[in-house]
Amino acid sequence: MGSTFAGVKAGVLSGVIYFGILALVNVAVLFAFQKDATAAINKDFGQLCSSSYNSSAYDCLVSVAQIQVPFVAFVGFFLSLVFAGLFGRFYERVPGTEYRIKGITTAILLLLALIVFGLGGYTFDRSSTYITGASEIGATLGYGVLLGFLYRRYTRRVEFVGEEEGSPHILVDGKDLTGKTRTFSSMSVHEIRADSSGGSPFREWVVSGGVTVEDSRSFETTMEVNGDGLLKVTSKKA
């Protein structure tokens, strides 16, 4: 189930730092390898370099650093928000045993998407390739850890338990989560319902931790999540 909002929220700060680092590295590489960079830029950005504002090769290099690099970072940032939202929405399905590994998995997929869409760093020779590649890998791993950490900070884990076999199933926002653990945005409210079809009749809700219910004796009520906790459904004995 997860939380798309929490994923995007975590992705904002993570993405700003991530693309800020990549942009700074790109600019540094452009000027560190100025000769090779200028040749490549004249080939790839001929229209920009031939404008009246660029009277020299150095002016062209500066224009790319001031215009193209921020534009690529801007587009990449919004692409990262899409990945962060999907990360939150499908958090439980993302490969990994805990939040940092799940975040790194998402970050690697994001990096692959950036490369496919031509939003990776600039390279001109072997040295620039090594520098850009190493910085991208390091920044991507850091982004993944931070994304996972912030998502965990903005969400709470709730375990849903049936009293015994044949107990009513726990439906949360229309989805059967009996016997599962899911993440929800902190201070979020959700519709819960005890489905007794084919089983024992509903008795009451039992909660612990940061989970509360509006009416513990009503089979259909609301649950508020303010911390990690447990929601258990009990049934009437025959």
pLDDT, tens only, 47-77: 556 554 555 667 777 878 888 899 999 999 9
Has residue 221 got a pLDDT over 90? yes
pLDDT tens, residue by residue, 129-170: 899 999 999 999 999 999 999 999 999 999 999 877 778 999
What pTM did the predictor assign? 0.86
What pLDDT sits at residue 52? 47
What residue spans define the domains of the chain? Answer: 4-154, 163-235
Residues in contact with 165: Cβ distance below 8 Å, sequence separation at least 6, in sequence order = none
